[in-house]
Chain A
Amino acid sequence: MSGGVDSAVAAARAVDEGHEVVGVHLALSRMPGTLRTGSRGCCTIEDSMDARRVAGQLGIPFYVWDFSERFRADVVDNFIDEYRQGRTPNPCLRCNEKIKFEAVLDRAMALGFDKVVTGHYATVTEDSEGSPQLFRSADWAKDQSYVLGVLTEEQLRHCYFPLGDTPSKQQVREEAEARGFGVHAKPDSHDICFIPDGDTQGFLRDKIGEAPGAIVDRDGNSLGTHQGTHEYTVGQRKGLQIGFPAADGKPRYVLEVRPVTREVVVGPKEALDTIELSGDTMSFAGKDPVQSGIVSGVHGQDGSLVECDEFDCEVQVRAHGNPEAARVKIEKGRMIARFGAPLAGVAPGQSAVVYRGLRVLGQVTIDHTVSADAQQLQHA
C-alpha cells in the first residue's frame, strides 16, 4: 500500500473477496519527505499516512516495513552502476524483481502469508496444471505487465493483481471515490521515485561526477566533448553539444555509450534502427515457451532453456512502448529477437519483454543489438 489509489482499491477488493488481508507500506528511504510533492517521488510520510488511513477504513492491520537498505543496494546503486557502465537501467523493473516480489515476498512467505497483492495493472491466472500465467491488463493504456515481465514462475505463484480486469483507471478512481477513499483524486506518480525532482541527469552527475570525453561519429572522428557518458542514453537527440551540424544536415542521435573509453557515439537516425536484439539474462513468467508447448527446444542441466526454435511473438522494449512483431529463438543460452520492421533506439540494459498475444512469456536483458544497416554497435 503505497498510499496511492491503485493499491488502495486493490486492498479493498482483496478484502471484499474474503481474503485475510494485512496492509504493508514499504519504507524505501531512510529519510522520507514529509509532504508529497504532486506527482513526483513517492512514499513520503504523507503517503504512508494515506495508506494507513485506507487500511483503517478497510479495518485491516497496517505495518510499515523498512527495506531501505536493500532498495539502496539493489535499485538505487544498480541504477547508478548501470549508467556508469553505459547501459540504460529500468529501476521500476529492478524494484519489482528485487524488492516488491523478492524481499517483501520472501518475508511475507516466511511470516505465513500466501500472496503479495499490489495495485499493478496486470493479471495472473493459473493454467490447468496450476502453473501461473501473466497477462496484460484490460486497460491497455495503464498496462504494467512490462515491468512485471521480469518475474519468475515461483514469484508469480504468490502474486495477485486485483486491478487487472478493470477496463480503465478512471473506473478505479471512481471505485475509490465510491468507497470513500480520500486518495481517489491523488495524482499518479511519474518518474523515478528516488529522484523526486525529476532531474535524473543532476542525480547522476551528483553520484558519478563528471568524466569528460569525446563525442565521436561511427568512423571515430571526434565531433565534440561531453561531461560524462552517463548523461547520454541511446536514442537521445537533445543535449549533444557538438556545435556544428552534420555533413548531411540531419539531426544526430546517440547510438552508443562507451564508458570505458569515455566516448559517446552519434549518428543519423537510420543507424538507430534496430533489427535484432539479444541477451543471455532471461526469465520466464511461468512455464517457458517449450514447457508451454509453443515450440521445441532443449533444457540445460540446471533446467534453464538453452535452445529453442524460432517462434512468432511481440516484443516490447519500453514500459509504454508498442509491442513489435518479432521472431524469437534461443541459441546457446542467448535469446535473440529479430524484428520485421526496425525499432528505434533500443538501449542495452533495458528489458525486452516477450508477449504472445496478451500473455507475457518472459523477458531478456538486452546486451547486444544489430542496427538496420548491419553495423553491430552495442556490446555488453
Chain B
Amino acid sequence: MSIYLDYAATTPMPEGVAEVYTQALTVVGNPSSVHQQGQAARVMVEEARATLGALLGVDPMEVTFTSGGTESINTWLKGRTFAHRSARGAAEPLYLVLTRAEHHGTLDAVEWLEMHGFATPLWVAVDPDGVMDLEDLERLLGSVPSEQIAGVTTLVANNEVGSIQPVESIVELARAHGDIPVHLDAIQAFGQIPLNVPELGADAVSISAHKLGGPVGVGALVMRRGATPIETLLHGGNQQPSRAGTLDAAGAHVFAHVARQSVETMVARHEQLSQLRDLLMDGLAAYPGVEVRGSISTRLPNNVHVTLQGAKGEVALYLFDEQGVSVSTGSACQAGIAEESHVLRAMGCDSATASSALRLTLGSSTTQAEVERVVELFPGVLEKARAASGK
C-alpha cells in the first residue's frame, strides 16, 4: 500500500476534479478571441477569476492568472524592483526585505536581482521556530531611507516547517515605515488557513493550484488596486493587464473549482488534519534524538517536520520510500541531490541537523490508519537510517 505524505510538494486531485478539468478542456476557443466561441472560453476564465477573488476577499480585476506560484513570485519581485527603479532612477540603492527562510522561488529571484545590481536584500532574522523576528524587521526597515525599499516579501506559512508568520504585524510595520508594499507567498497557506487579503493589508499575494488539488501549471498573482505598481514580467500580448500569454481557460476553471472546495471545507479539514498531524508528530517525537521543528502553536494543520539526530534525512526518506511511504526532506535541487535545509540553517541549526530533516505533510486523503502505520514503521526507519548514515 502506498501512503502519500508529501502534500506540500503537490496534491492529489480529489474525486471528480480530473473530470471537471477534462470537461473544461473540450471548450474550443482562445479566451482572447472576439467571436462567440472565444467568448465561451473567456467566460470560464472570468468566472474563475471572480470566484478566486471572492475567496480571497478581492475584486476579480485584482486577480491575474499565471503559470504557477514560481511565476507569480518572480513577477512580483522583479516587477516591483523594475518599477521602483524606473520611478526612482537606477543610481539610487534599492532594497528588498525578506528572511532567509523563504522558498527558493523567492530567494533565487532575489539573488538574481542582487547579482545583476538591481536590488540589495535586507535579511530579517527568523527565530528558532522559523518565525520572522518583528523587532529585527523594524530595525531593518528603519536602517535605510524608506523610499529606497521596493518591498517586503514573506511566506504566510513556512513551506518546510509549517510556522505561520505574523503577517498583519509585518504589514503594519511596513505601512508605518512609509507605506512599503508587502507581498505574501501564500502558496502553501491558501486553502489551509483563512486568507482575507484586504484584512491582512497586503499589496500582493501569490497562490498556486497544484497545492489544492488542481493541476500543475496554473497559479495566480493577486495585486490590490491602488497598490504600488509593478512592471510586467512576460511581454507579448496583454491578454491580462500585467501578464502576457494565452489564457488557460480550463486551468483557470479547475483552479477556481478546487479553491472553492478547499475553502468551503477548510474549517472541518483543519480540525481533522490538526488531529492527525498531532498524532503523527507525537508518535515521531517520542523517540530520543527526534525533534519537532517549527512553531507548535501556530503551525499549518497538515505539517509535521522533524530532525533525526545521527541520521541523514535523505536516507530516512529512502527507507520510508522502500516501504511505500512518500515523504520529503523539504529541499531538493534539479539533480535530485538532497541539500541541507536552508530554512533550518536560518533557524540556527547546524549543517548536520539541517541535513537530518524529514517533512511529512498530510492532506484530505490521509487516514488515521495511515498515520498509525507510519508511526509503526518509524523506529525501524530511524534505527536503520542512523546505521546507514555514517556511511
- Chain A interfacial positions (CB closer than 8 Å to B): 25, 27, 32, 45, 48, 52, 61, 63-66, 103, 106-107, 110-112
User: What is the CA–CA distance of A64 and B321 in the complex, to the nearest angstrom?
Assistant: 14
B36 near A: Cβ within 8 Å? no
B91 near A: Cβ within 8 Å? no
Stretch at the interface among B199-207, B257-265, B335-343: B335-343
Evaluate contact between A63 and B391: CB separation under 8 angstroms: no
User: What is the CA–CA distance of A106 and B389 in the complex, to the nearest angstrom?
Assistant: 10
The proximity string for B residues 353-391 relative to A, scoring 1 for CB distances below 8 Å and 0 otherwise, is 000000000000000000000000000000010011001
Partner of A106, one of B318, B335, B336, B391: B391
Evaluate contact between B388 and A27: CB separation under 8 angstroms: no
B334 near A: Cβ within 8 Å? yes
User: What is the CA–CA distance of A65 and B322 in the complex, to the nearest angstrom?
Assistant: 15
Evaluate contact between A111 and B337: CB separation under 8 angstroms: no
Evaluate contact between A110 and B337: CB separation under 8 angstroms: no
Evaluate contact between B335 and A64: CB separation under 8 angstroms: yes
Partner of A111, one of B318, B335, B338: B318
Known A61-B321, A63-B318; judge A110-B387 contact (CB<8 A).
yes
Evaluate contact between A32 and B335: CB separation under 8 angstroms: yes
Measured between beta carbons, the chain A residues less than 8 angstroms from B335 are 27, 32, 45, 48, 64
Secondary structure of the A contact surface, majority rule: mixed
B170 near A: Cβ within 8 Å? no
Measured between beta carbons, the chain B residues less than 8 angstroms from A27 are 335, 337
Measured between beta carbons, the chain B residues less than 8 angstroms from A48 are 335-336
Evaluate contact between A110 and B384: CB separation under 8 angstroms: yes
Q: How far is the CB of A370 from chain B (nearest CB, A)?
A: 41
Evaluate contact between B338 and A107: CB separation under 8 angstroms: no
B156 near A: Cβ within 8 Å? no
What are the 5 tightest A-B residue pairs by CB atom distance, in nearest-first order? A110-B388, A106-B391, A64-B336, A107-B391, A27-B337
Known A103-B391, A107-B391, A111-B318; judge A63-B336 contact (CB<8 A).
yes
Nearest opposing residue in chain B for A34, CB measure: B334
User: What is the CA–CA distance of A111 and B315 in the complex, to the nearest angstrom?
Assistant: 9
Q: How far is the CB of B325 from chain A (nearest CB, A)?
A: 14
Nearest opposing residue in chain B for A26, CB measure: B337
Measured between beta carbons, the chain A residues less than 8 angstroms from B322 are 111
Known A61-B321, A111-B319; judge A66-B338 contact (CB<8 A).
yes
Task: Identify which of A103, A106, A107, A112 gathers the most chain B CB atoms within 10 Å of its CB.
Answer: A107
User: What is the CA–CA distance of A111 and B319 in the complex, to the nearest angstrom?
Assistant: 8
User: What is the CA–CA distance of A206 and B391 in the complex, to the nearest angstrom?
Assistant: 31
User: What is the CA–CA distance of A106 and B390 in the complex, to the nearest angstrom?
Assistant: 9
User: What is the CA–CA distance of A110 and B387 in the complex, to the nearest angstrom?
Assistant: 7
Q: How far is the CB of B318 from chain A (nearest CB, A)?
A: 6
Nearest opposing residue in chain A for B318, CB measure: A63
Evaluate contact between B321 and A111: CB separation under 8 angstroms: no
16 interchain pairs (CB within 8 A)?
A27-B335, A27-B337, A32-B335, A45-B334, A45-B335, A48-B336, A61-B321, A63-B318, A110-B387, A110-B388, A110-B391, A111-B318, A111-B319, A111-B322, A111-B388, A112-B384
Nearest opposing residue in chain A for B334, CB measure: A45
Nearest opposing residue in chain B for A103, CB measure: B391
User: What is the CA–CA distance of A64 and B317 in the complex, to the nearest angstrom?
Assistant: 12
Q: How far is the CB of B340 from chain A (nearest CB, A)?
A: 10
Q: How far is the CB of B389 from chain A (nearest CB, A)?
A: 8
User: What is the CA–CA distance of A337 and B288 in the complex, to the nearest angstrom?
Assistant: 55
User: What is the CA–CA distance of A296 and B99 in the complex, to the nearest angstrom?
Assistant: 70
Q: How far is the CB of A286 from chain B (nearest CB, A)?
A: 23
User: What is the CA–CA distance of A45 and B335 in the complex, to the nearest angstrom?
Assistant: 6
Known A106-B391, A110-B384; judge A64-B337 contact (CB<8 A).
yes
Measured between beta carbons, the chain A residues less than 8 angstroms from B384 are 110-112
Measured between beta carbons, the chain B residues less than 8 angstroms from A63 are 318, 336
Q: How far is the CB of A361 from chain B (nearest CB, A)?
A: 28
Measured between beta carbons, the chain B residues less than 8 angstroms from A64 are 335-337
Q: How far is the CB of A66 from chain B (nearest CB, A)?
A: 5
Nearest opposing residue in chain A for B319, CB measure: A111
Measured between beta carbons, the chain B residues less than 8 angstroms from A103 are 391
User: What is the CA–CA distance of A52 and B334 in the complex, to the nearest angstrom?
Assistant: 12
Evaluate contact between A107 and B336: CB separation under 8 angstroms: no
User: What is the CA–CA distance of A112 and B384 in the complex, to the nearest angstrom?
Assistant: 9
User: What is the CA–CA distance of A110 and B316 in the complex, to the nearest angstrom?
Assistant: 12
Task: Identify which of A25, A64, A103, A106 gathers the most chain B CB atoms within 10 Å of its CB.
Answer: A64
Q: How far is the CB of A41 from chain B (nearest CB, A)?
A: 15
The proximity string for B residues 299-324 relative to A, scoring 1 for CB distances below 8 Å and 0 otherwise, is 00000000000000011001101100
User: What is the CA–CA distance of A110 and B319 in the complex, to the nearest angstrom?
Assistant: 11
Q: How far is the CB of B111 from chain A (nearest CB, A)?
A: 15
